[in-house]
Amino acid sequence: MYKRLSAVMFPLCALLFAGAIFWGYQEHQEKNAVLIKAENQYQRAFHDLTNHMNSLQEQLGKTLAVNGASYRMQRKGLVNVWRLTSQAQNEVNQLPLALLPFNKAENFLSRISDFAYRTSVRDLTKEPLTEQEAQTIQSLYAKAADINKELGKVQDAVLSDHLRWMDVEVAMSSADQTADNSIIDGFKTVDKKVSSYPENDWGPSNVSADLQRAHGNASGPKISAEEARQKAAEFLGIKAMSGTREIKITENGTKTDHPTYTAVVSTASRSQKKGEAQTIQMDFTAKGGKLLWFMNPRIVKTRSFNVGAAKEKAIQFLKDKGYTAMTPVTYDEYDHVSVFTFVAEKDGVLIYPDKVTVRIALDNGEAVGLQAADHVYREAGIAVGKPAIEEAKARSVLHPKFEMKAHRLAVIENDEKKDVLCHEYTGKINGSQYRIYVNANTGIEEKIEQIPDSAKAIL
């Protein structure tokens, strides 16, 4: 009987064993194919990065080489700098550098891209490059040469020693942080070198958002943590400390230009079962105690309000919280929550940089979110002024087939980060609705925005 059983089982086991070997071989081949494909993609991204960085340095040099009155060539050079920097950023994002301290270099590329774009889009015949901007380009040229020198060393090591990027991934994910790798060491050197550079003067058209905010409306006497607690309680209409409610205050950025307080409120929700809790968060400026944002992250499972009713709830919420003269301009919806963006209105002129965003839960119409940082930081200092170009003349620059439905004046932030007064035209062309902004002082089109279908409900 055992002989008969062995005669059956042995071939069967041999077949299973052979099948396991074949399956393992197939898995190994497929894994190798995936690794080879990933390695090829990493190698392509890296060598493209070095090529684009070399081209970037070349374009900066060409921009410096042309005559100061050759505005067309300057603009062409800056556009190419912007294009090459954007490509370099994309290639950096394709490399396995997430665990490397490469943020300084990435931020440097981002600032170059921003500088080149905002400088090239303006009319250089009317606003030529300033002496400071020319010096900035000269500085960027020298720094690009420095960075390319270090990247060249990494590229030489990769080619001569046949280094693999897959080894970089393994080394970075390894618990042994002292693992030696020429690629890792090279990129660390690049980032360290960039961090040692003095800060550039990026010119008047490239003032950072943080610097703009420093001159914004975050002013007033510094409030205490207890005052922040009281403000949070007042906003929510609760007592600062009551039963199941507790408000915890954390101070942030004490040594920065924009210190804030974060209030975390733990409270039982009327929409939840007894004993369940939710956490509401909000931030206040330490100077003046102004609310930057608030978020109630509760899950909204049903829908009982339509867009019109939700808009009325949002308008009433803003009025109750002291945000007056605000007009809804955009609308979106997800997970049974309506999101409205309101902008300030002054003397019939919409002030787009001064805006707030309100989130309304569609189950009970409750406001579950408010983003007001742009209102806090941009409310002061935005001048409306008077249009130098009449509406009829501004309208003449529109496409002949543009079907205008509405006109109003609006202040927008243009591509150079400047607040400009515009004639805003809402209309339709090619089956889609648009807002077209014509500069009320120069008569040129500053911006064109397509109106999404979701926003039509509030227009």
Phi, psi for residue 219 in degrees, rounded to 5: -130, 175
pLDDT of residue 244: 43
Give the tens place of pLDDT for each residue, 185-212: 777 777 776 666 655 544 444 444 444 4
For 162-294, where are the alpha helices, taking DSSP H only?
Answer: 165-173, 182-195, 209-214, 225-236
Same domain, 358 and 406: no
Same domain, 200 and 337: no
Count structural domains, the chain. Answer: 3
174 in a structural domain: yes
pLDDT at 311 over 70: yes
pTM, two decimals, is 0.64
Q: Are strands 349-361 and 403-413 parallel, antiparallel or unpaired?
A: parallel
Beta-carbon contacts of 20 under 8 Å, excluding residues fewer than 6 positions away, are none
pLDDT of residue 424: 94
Same domain, 87 and 158: yes
Give the tens place of pLDDT for each residue, 134-145: 888 888 888 888
Q: Are strands 367-371 and 349-361 parallel, antiparallel or unpaired?
A: antiparallel
The full DSSP string for 46-64 is HHHHHHHHHHHHHHHHHHH
Mean per-residue pLDDT over the chain, rounded: 79
Same domain, 91 and 188: yes
Which one is predicted more confidently, 110 or 456? 110
Closest to 359 measured CA to CA, from 398, 305, 287 = 305
313-341: average pLDDT: 91
Same domain, 173 and 234: no
Phi, psi for residue 419 in degrees, rounded to 5: -80, 120
pLDDT category at 87 given cuts 50, 70, 90 is confident
E strand or H helix at 350, and its extent?
Answer: strand 349-361
107 in a structural domain: yes
Closest to 454 measured CA to CA, from 275, 348, 328 = 328
383 in a structural domain: no
Q: Are strands 260-267 and 278-285 parallel, antiparallel or unpaired?
A: antiparallel
Same domain, 313 and 254: yes
Least confidently predicted of 57-66, 152-161, 326-335, 357-366: 152-161
E strand or H helix at 76, and its extent?
Answer: helix 71-94
5 in a structural domain: no
427-440: average pLDDT: 90
Same domain, 237 and 333: yes
Same domain, 200 and 269: no
Least confidently predicted of 151-160, 255-264, 268-277: 268-277
pLDDT of residue 7: 60
Same domain, 196 and 282: no
pLDDT of residue 200: 54
Same domain, 159 and 308: no
Contact (Cβ atoms closer than 8 angstroms) between residue 55 and residue 61: no
171 in a structural domain: yes
Last residue of a domain, one of 137, 172, 205: 205
pLDDT at 151 over 80: yes
Q: State how far the Cα of 329 lies from the Cα of 358, in Å rounded to an integer.
A: 12
1 in a structural domain: no
Last residue of a domain, one of 205, 239, 261: 205
Highest mean pLDDT out of 94-98, 180-184, 215-219: 94-98
For residue 420, the enclosing domain spans 391-458
CATH at residue 396: 3.10.450
pLDDT at 118 over 80: yes
Distance from CA of residue 41 to its chain's centroid? 26
Same domain, 259 and 338: yes
306 in a structural domain: yes
pLDDT of residue 22: 58
Same domain, 364 and 288: yes
3 in a structural domain: no
Q: Report the residue count for the chain.
A: 459
